[in-house]
Amino acid sequence: MKNKTDVLPQEGEAHPSKCPDNSAFKQQRLPAWKPQLDIVTVLSSFFLVGTFCLTMGVILILSANSVREIQIDYSDKCSDCSKLRENSSNWNKECHCSVNFTLKEDILGDVFMYYGLQNFYQNHRRYMISRSDAQLLGRNVNIQRSYCAPFTTYSNGTPMAPCGAIANSIFNDTIDLFYNRNSSVIQVPLLKTGNSWWTDKNVKFRNPESYNLSSAFAGTARPPYWQKPVYLLDEEDERNNGYINDDLIIWMRVSAFSTFRNLYRRVRRVRHFADGLPAGNYTFRISYNFPVAMFKGRKHVILSTVVWSGGSNPFLGIAYVVSGTAAILAGFVITAIHLKLRKKKTYFQRQ
């Protein structure tokens, strides 16, 4: 066994150095490029960035203003159905209403139909986490361990599919569009599929594996506020059922604001609507199922086109304009400070 004196340095013995080696790398003597910013470079950068942002902002705002859009609020026009839906015991009673409007000019190109909600807070923390991503991937999981409560199982133990507050509150109004052409009424063909993101449809949502959907969801039940089970969401297209239903996928992507719109349908460009929506009289026929009076909300239907920069949203253009204006103003302020300091320096040099 060694004594303590065996590990201590002897008198006159040098301690090991902790300094890095005297090399170019460890002593940071490698050649490097360091920009020398003078006043011309700085001011040029501010003015060039400001000019670019202002130009882009004006272009984006003009592009957003070129979008053709019509918005119809049907909250009050369907007041009878709204009163019926205030009583939860009437959930199985159908209620329909109609809203007429006129297009004064043709809406050419691809036309998109959105539904809009106002004063609906999807950004509540407990609401946003009330889902089971594993269940939506088609996995057999214990949803009682998820954040879906209280929308997990019924009192008899039957699990809900899909579980959670987000799925339970899905927007379930049915909206059809009709074109009143002379004395005839033509239903505008609308596309239900192809409206969700590719990553959502093919990566984030999957149906349980089985030879048919009804057996895949055997032993589960629809959420309390739903009228149909998840495997019958689209009775016309079997490929648009279950967890890969476009309406469900779009609804599950929650909004950050209390007023928002979600894509509902796209106008199919055939026959009378090959070029878009012609001018004339139209009617929205709505099967009213989604109540909003209890939280003082509003409901809208929006018909809109899109441009290269997106839909009718000038936010990005305004952000560019504000940033460009701030950069140019900062450039003028720096210029004024520089001229003032240079004048003082010249004065003292003369003294």
**What is the model's pTM?**
0.80
Report the alpha-carbon distance of residue 272 to residue 259 in Å, rounded.
Answer: 33
pLDDT value at residue 313: 84
pLDDT value at residue 12: 55
| CA angle centred on 291, ends 288 and 293, rounded to 5° | 125
pLDDT value at residue 23: 83
Beta-carbon neighbour count of residue 244 at 10 Å? 21
280 phi-psi bin (left φ>0, alpha ψ -120 to 50, beta other): left
Amino acid identity, position 7? V
For residues 158 and 220, the answer to whether their CB atoms sit within 8 Å is yes
pLDDT value at residue 35: 78
pLDDT value at residue 316: 92
Question: How do the pLDDT tens digits run along the chain, 351 residues long?
Answer: 455 455 555 555 566 677 888 887 787 777 878 778 888 888 999 999 999 999 999 999 999 998 999 999 999 899 889 888 888 777 778 899 999 999 999 999 999 999 999 999 999 999 999 999 999 999 988 888 889 989 999 999 899 999 999 999 999 999 999 999 888 999 999 999 999 999 999 999 999 988 888 899 998 999 998 989 999 999 888 889 999 999 999 999 999 999 999 999 999 999 899 999 999 999 999 999 999 988 899 999 999 999 888 888 889 999 999 999 999 999 999 999 988 888 776 756 665
**Cα→Cα distances 244→148, 189, 195, 198, Å:** 19, 22, 12, 11
How far from the centroid of its chain's Cα atoms is residue 7's Cα?
A: 67
Closest by CA position to 120, among listed 258, 237, 252, 326: 258
